[in-house]
A and B are shown apart, each in its own frame.
Chain A
Amino acid sequence: MSTSDSIRDFITGEILHGTLKDPLHDQDSLIESGIIDSMGVMTLLAFLEDKFSIQIPGDELLPENFESISTITTLVDRHLVR
C-alpha cells in the first residue's frame, strides 16, 4: 500500500470514523476545510511516526504540511529518505 493510501485510510477510518460521504482525494483540503482539527492532527502525527518509523520535528508541524494527503505524503517521504 502506498504512503498516500495508508494516510488516506487512516484519516477516513480513524479520524473521520467513516463519516465522509465522498472519497478523500490527494489534493482535498484537510485543515482549512476543518476536516481535521487540532486533535485530529495530533492523532495523525502519532500514526505517521509509528507507522513509518519517523520523527517529525516541531518546526515542521505547520498547517501547510498537513493541508492535504499530498502534502502529508511529501512530509513523510522527506523523512523516510533521511
Chain B
Amino acid sequence: MLTSIRIVFHQVIETLAEDGVKNIFRPRVFWNRWAIPVEMDLLTANLPLAGQLNNAEFQFVEITMDDLQTGKWIFAVPSRGLKALRNLKQGFRGFAVAKDSTIVGDLWCIALRKDGKAIYHPDLRMLDIVCSLGDAYAFDMLIPSTYRGKNLAVPLQKTLQAALKMEGFQRVYGYYWEDNLPALWMHRMLKFKELPKRRVSRFFFILKSKEEVV
C-alpha cells in the first residue's frame, strides 16, 4: 500500500512537470475512449536474437529483482523504479532499454505460469482477453519524452517478444488507446493483429468496457 502511494505521488509530480494539471487524472477518468486490443503470433513473428538490438548507445535487457536490489540500474523516471519493484514482486516480467546504467524505457508482461496458475491483471478484464497456456500479455510501456524519437519503442517490444518466443510462448496480447497516435503507430509497425475495439469509460476504479458493435 505504501509503495502504491509513493508511486502515485511520484507520478503526480512527473505528470505535473511534463504535461500539466489537466493530465493528472486522464489515465483514471475518461469517457468513451476506444481501446484497441492486439495480438501477435510469436510463432510466425520475425524476431531478433538476444543482444542483436543493442547498439553503442542503448542496450535492451530484462529487469531482474537481483539487479534492482544490487542497484545495477537507476531509473530515469523515479516512479518507474518503484513500479518495477512492485511489478517484480507481483510476478510480472520487465524488459527495458538502458543507457549506461540508467533505464530509459520499460515494458512489462505477465504470462500464465508453468504450474498453470494465472497471474491476474485488471487490463485483461477491460479487454475481455483470457490468456491460455502459451499466452502472455504485454502492458505499461513507457519511454520518457527525452528519449522519444530515437527508435527505441519497436526494439523494446521486439526484445520482450523474442524472449517469450525463446521460452516457448506462442502469443502475446496488448492494447493501445486509439487516440494515442505514437502507440497506434508502434503497434502497426510491429504488425500486431488488431482485435475488435472496445469502448471504455473509467472513473478511478469504476470501469465499463464494451466491444464495438459493427
List A residues at the B interface (Cβ < 8 Å): 31, 34, 37-42, 45, 58, 61-63
Is the beta-carbon distance between B186 and A38 smaller than 8 angstroms?
Answer: yes
18 A–B contact pairs at CB < 8 A? A34-B151, A37-B150, A38-B148, A38-B151, A38-B153, A38-B182, A38-B185, A38-B186, A38-B189, A39-B149, A40-B149, A42-B181, A42-B182, A61-B181, A61-B184, A61-B185, A62-B188, A63-B185
Given contacts A39-B149, A61-B184, 13 further A-B contacts (CB under 8 A): A31-B189, A34-B151, A37-B150, A38-B186, A38-B189, A39-B182, A42-B185, A45-B181, A58-B178, A61-B188, A62-B188, A63-B185, A63-B188
Q: What is the predominant secondary structure among interface residues of chain B facing chain A?
A: helix
| Cross-chain pair count, CB within 8 angstroms | 32
Q: What is the predominant secondary structure among interface residues of chain A facing chain B?
A: helix
The residues of B that contact A39 with a CB separation of less than 8 Å are 148-149, 182
List B residues at the A interface (Cβ < 8 Å): 148-151, 153, 178, 181-182, 184-186, 188-189
Report Cα–Cα, A37/B181, bound state, in Å. Answer: 13
CB-CB nearest in chain A for B186? A38
A58-B184 contact in complex given A37-B151, A38-B153, A40-B149, C-beta closer than 8 Å: yes
The residues of B that contact A41 with a CB separation of less than 8 Å are 185
CB-CB nearest in chain A for B181? A42
The residues of B that contact A34 with a CB separation of less than 8 Å are 151
Leading 8 A-B pairs by shortest Cβ distance: A39-B149, A38-B185, A38-B182, A37-B151, A63-B189, A42-B181, A41-B185, A37-B149
